[in-house]
Amino acid sequence: MHKTGWGDKVFSTVNYIGFGIFTLLCAFPFYYLFIQTISDNSLSASGAITWLPKGIHFNNYVEVLKVKGLSTAALVSVGRTVIGTILTVFGSAFLGYLFTKRKMAGRVFWYRFVVITMYFNASIIPWFIIMMNLGMVNNYLAYILPAIVSPFYVILVKTFVESLPEALEESAEIDGAIGFDDNKHFSRTFRERVGMYPTEYRTIHQVIEVNAE
Amino acid sequence: MNPALQGETKPQNVKTGISQKYRLLLYASPFLLLILVFGYFPLYGWTYAFYNYKPGIPLSSEQFVGFKWFLSIINNPYQFEEIKRVMTNTFAMSLLGIATSILPVIFAIFLVEIKTNWYKKLVQTLTTLPNFISWVLVYAIAFMLFSYDNGLINKIMIGLGFQDGNINYLASGEYIWLKMTLWNVWKGLGWGAILYIAAIMGIDQELYDAAKVDGAGRVRLMWHITLPGVMPTFFVLLLLSIANFINNGMEQYFVFQNALNKDSIEVLDLYVYNTSMVGNNFSFATAVSMLKSVVSVVLLFVANQCSKWVRGETII
C-alpha cells in the first residue's frame, strides 16, 4: 500500500545520516573521556591518547571505589531517586489531573498559585530556616517533601490530559471505569445515551410495568 | 432499584454531602499545602532585601536600609553601564535560547520518521547522555577537546593543515554567545525532544491512516498531523521560557567564564553571584532575585495574555 518513491529514499538517507552525525557528536566526548580513564595515566596526561586507549588498566576505578563513604552516599542517592521519583510522579500527576477538572472550586486561581512558585527564588538562607523550623535538617524528608509537587510536571500533565479527547473519559465512565459519584453527571450522560433523564425513564418504565400487569 | 437511578440531580456526594467542586479542591489541598510551605513561606526572606543583612545575626537587630539595595542597582553611571552590559548578555542568551527551542521539536518530528527501531533507540539514548552530566563536567569535556595544549581539536586542525599553531578556543570571547548556545543545544537537544516524542506517540494513529487514504505523502503527514500534534506542548514550554527571560541560570556561564570572555558572558544571574556572593553582599542578591521574580511573573501573564489573543487559548 505504501509506495516508497525516489524522494522518500533521499529523505530517509539524509535523515539517517543527520541523526548519525549528531549522535556521534553527543557520544564521542564520553568515549574520549572514557579512554583517558582506562589508559596509562602518564600517557593520557601528556595528551597522547586520541582515538584508542593505550596501556589499558582499571586502577583509576579501583581507587574511586576505595573512597570512604561512597557506598552510603550512593545508597542515599539511589533511595532519593527512587522514592522521590515515585512520589513526584504521583503527586504532580494527581494535581495536574485535578486541574483539568473544570468543576474544581477556584481552579484557575489555584493553578496559578502553583505555577508562579516556579519563578520565586527566596535564596538559600530563608529556605534553610524554614527547613529547620520544620525539623527537617539532617532528615531524609528534606529531599522528598519539597519535591512532591513540581509545578513544571503539573503543567505538563495538565496540558497532556487536556489534549486527550474528552469523549474518552466520558465513555470510560459509561463503561463503569470511574463510576458516578456525581448524580448530575450521571443524569446528563444517561440522557445523552438513552434520550431521557433517569427519572423520566423510571416513570415511563413504571407506567409500562403497571400497564403490563 | 439502583440508588443512582432515583433521579437525584444535586451534584452532591451521597455519603459526605460535600458538593463536587469543593471535593475536588479537597483532593488537591494536601498538595497545595506543600506548595504553600515550600513555595511561599521562604519568601519572607525577601525582607532581607530591605536590611543591611549580615548572616548569623537575627533580623530584628539588623540595620534597616529601605530601598538602598534596589537603588544601588542603577545609582551611578558606572553601575548603570555595568547593568546595561549584563542585561545585553542576558537578553542575547535568552533570545538565542528561545530561537533554538524549536530545535527539539524538529528533532522529535524527524526522529519518529526513522523506522529502524534499534537505530532510533540508539540515537535517542546517546543524545540524552549530555543532559545527565553537570555543567562542570561539560566544561571538563570542553577542556579536553578544546584546550590550548593537547586539546583534541587543536591537534586535528593542525594535522589537517587548517591552522598553523594552537588556538586557545576557550579563552577567546569571540562568538561567545553563539558558543554558549551551541553548548546548550548539545546538552539539551536530545533530552528536550523526549517530551515532544511522547506527545507524538499520543497522536491518534487513525489520523495518519485517514490522511494516507486521502493521498497525503510523508512530508504532508509530518506538516499537517505531527507538527500540530506537538504544538500544544511547544507553546507551553515557550511560554515558560519567555517568563524565564531574565533567568539564565549561572552554572553554565560560571564554568565557562574567564578574564578574557567575562565582558560578554556575564549574564544577570552570574553578575549577581560575582558581585554579591563573592563580595558577601547577601541583601543585594536578595533585592535582585526579588525583582527577577516580579519581572518573571509579569512576563508570564503578559505572554499568557498574548497567547489568548493570538491562539485564542490561555496556557496558565
Comparison of pLDDT for A55 and A72, the residue scoring more: A72
Specify the pLDDT at position A66.
83
Residues A136 and A174 occupy one common structural domain: no
Last residue of a domain, one of A44, A65, A86: A65
- Judged against a pLDDT cut of 90, whether residue B185 lies above it is answered with yes
Residues A129 and A81 occupy one common structural domain: yes
- What is the pLDDT averaged over residues B6-21? 59
Instruction: Give the closest-approach CA distance of A60 to chain B in angstroms.
Output: 17
Residues A149 and A177 occupy one common structural domain: no
Residues A99 and A170 occupy one common structural domain: no
Residue A54 falls inside a structural domain: yes
List Cα–Cα distances, B298 to A3, B12, B288, in angstroms. 52, 38, 15
Scan for cell 582515538, then name that residue: A51
* Residues of the domain holding A150: 70-164
List Cα–Cα distances, A10 to A5, B86, B160, B166, in angstroms. 9, 46, 31, 39
Query: What residue in B sits closest to A22 (Cα-Cα)?
Result: B127
Using a 10 angstrom Cβ sphere, with 0-12 exposed, 13-18 middle and 19 or more buried, the burial of residue B90 is buried
Specify the pLDDT at position B314.
80
- Judged against a pLDDT cut of 60, whether residue B295 lies above it is answered with yes
With a pLDDT cut of 70, the percent of chain A lying above it is 83
SS3 content of chain B, % helix, strand, coil (to 5): 70, 0, 30
CB-based contact (8 Å) between A19 and chain B?
Answer: yes
Across the interface, of A19, A116, A181, the residue whose CB is closest to B114 is A19
Rounded to an integer, what distance in angstroms lies between the CA atom of residue B153 and that of residue A25?
Answer: 13
Query: What residue in B sits closest to A3 (Cα-Cα)?
Result: B217
Chain A residues with CB under 8 Å of B4 CB are 180, 183, 186, 198
Number of domains in chain A: 3
Residue B110 falls inside a structural domain: yes
Instruction: Give the closest-approach CA distance of A5 to chain B in angstroms.
Output: 10
Specify the pLDDT at position A180.
58
Please tell me whether residue B19 adopts helix, strand or coil conformation. Answer: strand
Rounded to an integer, what distance in angstroms lies between the CA atom of residue B136 and that of residue B140?
Answer: 6
Which DSSP helix (H) or strand (E) runs through B35?
A: helix B20-35
List CB contacts of B139: < 8 A, sequence separation 6 or more. B255, B256
Instruction: Give the closest-approach CA distance of B8 to chain A in angstroms.
Output: 6
Q: Residues 275..294 of B with a Cβ closer than 8 Å to A: which?
A: 282, 285-286, 289, 292-293
- φ, ψ of residue B52 to 5 degrees: the values are -90, 80
| Local confidence band at B156 (pLDDT 50, 70, 90 cut-offs) | confident
Rounded to an integer, what distance in angstroms lies between the CA atom of residue B291 and that of residue B233?
Answer: 28
List Cα–Cα distances, B91 to B177, B184, B244, in angstroms. 11, 15, 11
Residue B126 falls inside a structural domain: yes
What is the interface pTM, i.e. ipTM, of the complex? 0.79
Inter-chain contact A50–B152, Cβ cutoff 8 Å?
yes
Q: Which of B1, B9, B128, B194 to mutate to test the interface with A (most CBs of A within 10 A)?
A: B9
Chain A residues with CB under 8 Å of B40 CB are 117, 120
Scan for cell 542517592, then name that residue: A77
Specify the pLDDT at position B106.
93
Chain A residues with CB under 8 Å of B5 CB are 198, 201-202
Specify the pLDDT at position B107.
94
Residues A118 and A173 occupy one common structural domain: no
Inter-chain contact A30–B152, Cβ cutoff 8 Å?
no
Per-position b or e across A165-204, b if 16+ CB within 10 A of its CB: eeeeebeebeeeeeeebbbebbbebbeeeeeebbeebeee
In contact, B272 and B285? CB cutoff 8 Å? yes
Residue A207 falls inside a structural domain: yes
Residue B69 falls inside a structural domain: no
- Judged against a pLDDT cut of 60, whether residue A1 lies above it is answered with no
Among residues B64, B257, B47, which one has the least CA distance to residue A123? B47
Residues A154 and A176 occupy one common structural domain: no
Query: What residue in A sits closest to B141 (Cα-Cα)?
Result: A29
- What is the pLDDT averaged over residues A26-51? 81
In contact, B153 and B163? CB cutoff 8 Å? no
- What is the pLDDT averaged over residues B43-72? 78
Q: Residues 205..224 of B with a Cβ closer than 8 Å to A: which?
A: 212, 217-219
Inter-chain contact B293–A121, Cβ cutoff 8 Å?
yes
Q: What nine digits make up the cell of A144?
A: 522528598
Query: What residue in B sits closest to A29 (Cα-Cα)?
Result: B141
Residue B16 falls inside a structural domain: no
Residues A82 and A14 occupy one common structural domain: no
Query: What is the average pLDDT value for chain A, to the nearest integer?
Result: 80
Rounded to an integer, what distance in angstroms lies between the CA atom of residue B169 and that of residue B152?
Answer: 12
Inter-chain contact A130–B13, Cβ cutoff 8 Å?
no
Among residues B265, B268, B274, B202, which one has the least CA distance to residue B233? B202
Number of domains in chain B: 1
Residue B3 falls inside a structural domain: no
Q: In this predicted model, what pLDDT tens digit does every residue of A170-207 receive, in sequence order?
A: 777 666 655 556 667 777 777 777 667 777 777 766 66
Query: What residue in A sits closest to B13 (Cα-Cα)?
Result: A181
Q: In this predicted model, what pLDDT tens digit does every residue of A115-147 receive, in sequence order?
A: 999 888 777 777 777 888 888 887 888 888 888
Question: Looking at residue B184, which CATH number applies to its domain?
Answer: 1.10.3720.10
Inter-chain contact B202–A163, Cβ cutoff 8 Å?
yes
Query: What residue in A sits closest to B4 (Cα-Cα)?
Result: A183
Last residue of a domain, one of A20, A41, A65: A65
Residues A111 and A159 occupy one common structural domain: yes
Using a 10 angstrom Cβ sphere, with 0-12 exposed, 13-18 middle and 19 or more buried, the burial of residue A207 is exposed
In contact, A18 and B110? CB cutoff 8 Å? yes
Residue B71 falls inside a structural domain: no
- What is the pLDDT averaged over residues A41-56? 76
- Judged against a pLDDT cut of 90, whether residue B103 lies above it is answered with yes
Scan for cell 535517542, then name that residue: B124
Query: What is the average pLDDT value for chain B, to the nearest integer?
Result: 84
Across the interface, of B7, B113, B289, the residue whose CB is closest to A15 is B113
Residue B48 falls inside a structural domain: no
Q: Which of A11, A15, A26, A191 to mutate to test the interface with B (most CBs of B within 10 A)?
A: A26
- φ, ψ of residue B63 to 5 degrees: the values are -85, 125
- What is the pLDDT averaged over residues B83-104? 91
Inter-chain contact B218–A104, Cβ cutoff 8 Å?
no
Residues A140 and A75 occupy one common structural domain: yes
Inter-chain contact A126–B141, Cβ cutoff 8 Å?
no
Q: Residues 120..139 of B with a Cβ closer than 8 Å to A: which?
A: 122-123, 126-127, 129-130
Q: In this predicted model, what pLDDT tens digit does every residue of B61-88 receive, in sequence order?
A: 777 787 888 887 778 788 888 888 888 9
List CB contacts of B121: < 8 A, sequence separation 6 or more. none
DSSP assignment of B86-104, as one string? Answer: HHHHHHHHHHHHHHHTTHH
Using a 10 angstrom Cβ sphere, with 0-12 exposed, 13-18 middle and 19 or more buried, the burial of residue A37 is middle
List Cα–Cα distances, B134 to B131, B137, B140, in angstroms. 8, 5, 10
List CB contacts of B298: < 8 A, sequence separation 6 or more. none
* Residues of the domain holding B150: 76-311
- Judged against a pLDDT cut of 50, whether residue B9 lies above it is answered with no
- Judged against a pLDDT cut of 50, whether residue B237 lies above it is answered with yes
Residues A98 and A155 occupy one common structural domain: yes
List Cα–Cα distances, B253 to B27, B31, B177, in angstroms. 42, 35, 10
Last residue of a domain, one of A164, A186, A204: A164
Residue A203 falls inside a structural domain: yes
Which DSSP helix (H) or strand (E) runs through B220?
A: helix B218-221
Per-position b or e across A69-91, b if 16+ CB within 10 A of its CB: eeeeeeeeeeeeeeebeeebeeb
Residue A1 falls inside a structural domain: no
Among residues A121, A128, A123, A118, which one has the least CA distance to residue B281? A123
Specify the pLDDT at position A176.
63
| Local confidence band at A80 (pLDDT 50, 70, 90 cut-offs) | confident
